[in-house]
Amino acid sequence: MTVARPLSLITGASSGIGAAFARQLAALGHQLVLTARRVDRLETLAAELRERHAIQVTVLPHDLADPAAPRTLCDELDQRGLPVDWLVNNAGYGVPGTFVANDWATHADFLQVLLTAPTELAWRLLPGMRQRGHGRIINVASLAGHVPGPAGHTLYAASKAYLIKLSQSLALENHAAGVHVCALCPGFTWSEFHDVTGTRDKMNRLPGFMWLSAEDVVRQGIAAVERGDAVYIPGRVNRAIKTLVQLLPDRLALRLSARESKRYRNTQV
């Protein structure tokens, strides 16, 4: 079955890929629930989309680093009578520096946002999707989840690899119930990500053909989940990188990762 006016919940919707998802799903006629920490940005985006598309946009600000946030968010959705048809698990960030260079509280918050929160949101919202016979879940992973983990940003690739495997299992478990699950795995994407992590100057050394816009990533991701793709890598260059890494011996692939880490990451303890 299909839903005439689907309701989409987008995490990390205040900028970048999350905001691009909000704009493109709104253009497709979706009602939206937007969540992130920056309330002012969410309200500005919500006002833009209400005016442009005459849709319902609900702003529910939450910090997903709070372990209680996923349950509280879903309780609010139930109280408002907002059944979620599309879940876009997009919230995320990077922690620059080596593993021991950061305190445990920093890593714990990261793991809560990147692993636990998206997993719990899927667990809480999947039963309703299955009962209604229709649903879409997009877990925004990364090309980093397909290649050897680099030094610096230690937990980032590991967390994205987890989202890829989770999405594959959920796709197999729920396809017959009318629910598609897709791990969207972009490579370098124009957004605030590298500004926040302080690596913009290093990232600017990359050639232009390595980059995609958030709009292109989202457009391809929506098409992929509708097709029923469990994993999708946008961009021919990114798909070629993934294929090349798979063909290389592990030792050589790890050596290449070590070399690139020194160029684009803070690998000092």
Number of H helices, E strands in the chain: 11, 9
CB 207 within 8 A of CB 108: no
The two structure tokens encoding residue 128:
């309703």
The two structure tokens encoding residue 16:
């970048």
* Cβ neighbours of 97 (radius 10 Å): 20
Beta bridge partners, 87, equal 9, 137
Just list the catalytic residues: 156
CB 17 within 8 A of CB 218: yes
What is the distance between the alpha carbons of residues 43 and 86, in angstroms, rounded to a whole number? 20
Strand order in the sheet with 179-184: 57-59, 31-35, 7-11, 86-89, 135-140, 179-184, 231-232
